[in-house]
Chains A and B, each alone.
Chain A
């Protein structure tokens, strides 16, 4: 009788242990840093990306966080616990940051400068398209429609194809604003990194930087698989907009040479 009783206690103890084990299944914490103004639209995008990363993370026991750091505090801040750094700052601050944090991906969400691409600092990842990409996109369209005066953009709040409609809808619902180019860049930086964490379980910044630069195949909700060039620039389609209406996407079909995302912008580094 007593023996049986002990067995019951033992087995229920094990059951409790097992149950608590399941409940406490190790949550992995993944942290991003954002450096820039708090009212920059890139931050809204990063926050949207973060909420989506956590939605995915709930199924994989991953928790994502985002620390906001001002450009002034960045000099003294300890960045050792971050998977990646997101920035919406000026070119000088960006170059300095990339220099002081050589083993972590430093995402550029706002600077279009071509020179920054051709210098190819190894940890710089430019999610926002460069000036050269936008110019090439416009030129492609003007070859087809010589009289048009279009703008080239990374994103547009009326974009609906490739499930862009869904992204615009949930961004507006959650952030109470329309998604612009910088917001898309912020969203994309967080989303591509969290997708990589989900797939590879990488939680080390140097390994993540290497993965992003060499193995990325990202669905940025613009229809094409996106990856980084050796310049650190994200290959991506560009939207052509006339009078605030989307008229085409570049690469422009039938015009672009090569007919791929590499018809837009600078492809290689300054030697």
Chain B
């Protein structure tokens, strides 16, 4: 009997450490506030603010949800935070001017280094740089396909989506899109990606296997400077942060036609969607707020005051 118990206890222990229950919290980087706001997922109130250093921008979670990563641009570092205790656990050098990043299913961080025309890959456990990839000028958005095969890095001043093969971190394709591509997101299958182009004011839908642009759609009027983009759970619509249009634009994922615009705060940059698909959170830079959108009726159900210039958002769900 005892002989069987030990491995069971051991197994339970391993499971526990691998995936702790998610905190349900929403984490926001405040670019000028030099902090991370922590929003309680049930009450939707700010429950804590963490000082993280100068100009925090990109934010993400480890695949198991046990570690929160924040790119602190002016310090050229990524800081690792415990999403439960909210303590900074450690930090590591992340190249010049780290901005946006995405976390690969294998745990590595792919990050754009805006000043260097480079994307770099870091192992956050050790802080070691795994790879460095030359891309276009002002690399910005980073997206990783759910199966981990492909990584997109957008270069704003070279107007490209650089498609990187994650197996050997080499560039597979360079896709010219509109002016100032900012962000991208993949479908679950990884076959399609959507990307925003800020100055062209458009969204493109790209076949990731051929590199062909399948569709282009305008994200609204001339004020619309689309930034972040997320896909609904059923992949029927995309949500696009409209920048100065002060709206989250909802577009048909198939036709790229605008379905509606949801008024939020001023200069909306970042977006995140909950795993159940029911809520979208937007960071409204100039207003210093986060808008919580109910995706069932596309209405803002709460506006949460956070720090100065909220930038990135991630949900620990």
Q: Interface of A with B (CB < 8 Å)?
A: 52, 55-56, 59-60, 163, 166-167, 169-170, 195, 198-199, 217-219, 221, 225
With a cutoff of 8 Å between Cβ atoms, the chain A residues found around residue B117 in the complex are: 55
Specify which of A56, A59, A170 lies most central, judged by the most chain B CB atoms within 10 Å of its CB: A59
- Judging by beta carbons under 8 Å apart, are A163 and B157 in contact? yes
- Judging by beta carbons under 8 Å apart, are A55 and B159 in contact? no
- Judging by beta carbons under 8 Å apart, are A217 and B179 in contact? yes
With a cutoff of 8 Å between Cβ atoms, the chain B residues found around residue A60 in the complex are: 174, 176
With a cutoff of 8 Å between Cβ atoms, the chain B residues found around residue A56 in the complex are: 136-137, 158-160
A195 to B160, CA, bound (A): 11
A218 to B200, CA, bound (A): 9
Nearest-CB residue, chain B, relative to A56: B158
Shortest Cβ distance from residue B206 to the other chain A in the assembled complex, whole angstroms: 16
Shortest Cβ distance from residue B173 to the other chain A in the assembled complex, whole angstroms: 9
A199 to B158, CA, bound (A): 11
Q: Interface of B with A (CB < 8 Å)?
A: 114-115, 117, 136-138, 156-160, 162, 171, 174, 176, 179-180, 199-200
Asked whether A55 and B115 contact (CB < 8 A) given A60-B174, A198-B176, A217-B179, the answer is no
Asked whether A166 and B157 contact (CB < 8 A) given A56-B137, A198-B176, the answer is yes
With a cutoff of 8 Å between Cβ atoms, the chain A residues found around residue B162 in the complex are: 59
Specify which of B137, B138, B162, B174 lies most central, judged by the most chain A CB atoms within 10 Å of its CB: B137
- Judging by beta carbons under 8 Å apart, are A52 and B137 in contact? yes
With a cutoff of 8 Å between Cβ atoms, the chain A residues found around residue B200 in the complex are: 217, 225
A-B contacts, 30 of them at CB < 8 A, read: A52-B137, A52-B157, A55-B117, A55-B158, A56-B136, A56-B137, A56-B158, A59-B136, A59-B160, A59-B171, A59-B174, A60-B174, A163-B138, A163-B156, A163-B157, A163-B180, A166-B115, A166-B138, A166-B157, A167-B157, A170-B137, A198-B159, A198-B176, A199-B159, A217-B199, A218-B179, A219-B157, A219-B179, A221-B157, A225-B179
Asked whether A225 and B199 contact (CB < 8 A) given A55-B137, A56-B137, the answer is yes
Asked whether A55 and B136 contact (CB < 8 A) given A217-B200, A219-B199, the answer is yes
Interface SS of chain B:
loop
- Judging by beta carbons under 8 Å apart, are B159 and A166 in contact? no
With a cutoff of 8 Å between Cβ atoms, the chain B residues found around residue A218 in the complex are: 179
Shortest Cβ distance from residue B196 to the other chain A in the assembled complex, whole angstroms: 14
A119 to B199, CA, bound (A): 31
- Judging by beta carbons under 8 Å apart, are A170 and B136 in contact? no
Closest 4 CB pairs of A and B: A59-B174, A219-B179, A219-B199, A56-B158
- Judging by beta carbons under 8 Å apart, are A199 and B157 in contact? no
Specify which of B157, B171, B176, B180 lies most central, judged by the most chain A CB atoms within 10 Å of its CB: B157
With a cutoff of 8 Å between Cβ atoms, the chain A residues found around residue B156 in the complex are: 163
With a cutoff of 8 Å between Cβ atoms, the chain A residues found around residue B160 in the complex are: 56, 59
A199 to B134, CA, bound (A): 21
With a cutoff of 8 Å between Cβ atoms, the chain A residues found around residue B114 in the complex are: 166
A199 to B177, CA, bound (A): 9
Shortest Cβ distance from residue A198 to the other chain B in the assembled complex, whole angstroms: 6
Specify which of B174, B176, B179, B199 lies most central, judged by the most chain A CB atoms within 10 Å of its CB: B199
Asked whether A195 and B159 contact (CB < 8 A) given A60-B174, A219-B180, the answer is yes
Specify which of A166, A167, A169 lies most central, judged by the most chain B CB atoms within 10 Å of its CB: A166
A169 to B117, CA, bound (A): 13
A218 to B174, CA, bound (A): 20
**B115 in complex: contacting residue of A170, A199, A225, CB < 8 Å:** A170
